[in-house]
Structure 1
Amino acid sequence: MALNTQPNFAEPSKRYFRAFSPGDDFYEMLIDTHRDLTDEQSAMLNARLILLLANHVGDLSVLREAMQIAREGV
């Protein structure tokens, strides 16, 4: 499986009228998850979230590709 870098957000039970709406919903959830946390707590949350999602993906080649792409922008 190759890394999907195209917008791919959706909620199966929800209809969206604009293509960007699911991405906006994700961003809002992410911001809400970090609300009222200290910088240290926010960094810990990010680390835990990355590990949870990486475990869900599971495919090391996809994870390797994602890490390489993420590092290119730093």
Structure 2
Amino acid sequence: MATLLTDNRLASPDAFYEALLQAHQGLSTEQSHALNARLVLLLANHIGDAEALGEALAAARINTLDQDSRQ
């Protein structure tokens, strides 16, 4: 079905990033992780395409492992 879109599609990426930071403001680490998990599940439900979501999971994992190996 759909292929994962990785180009910037946000009208204002900096504004979204700021909103994301604000959503985490004042939360404990546990609450912050829970917010992230809930956000991922809400967005995954909105996307609804298992193939695109699988690509996203794989890309996020690879990027995370690559980032960790550079530290």
- With normalisation by structure 1, the TM-score equals 0.82
Q: How does 1:20-39 map to 2 (within 5 A)?
A: 22-39=12-29
Q: Larger relative CO (CA 8 A, sep 6+): 1 or 2?
A: 2
The number of aligned residues is 63
Residue 6 of structure 2 aligns with which residue?
Answer: 5
Stretches of 4+ moved more than 6 A in 1? none
3-state SS in 2 of match to 1:56 = helix
For the aligned residue pairs, the C-alpha RMSD in angstroms reads 0.6
Identity, % of aligned positions: 49
Find the residue that maps to 2:8 and give its secondary structure. Answer: coil
More helix by share: 2
1:50 alignment counterpart: 40
Structure 2 portions without partners, runs of 5+ = 66-71
- Structure 1 unaligned blocks of 5 or more: 11-21
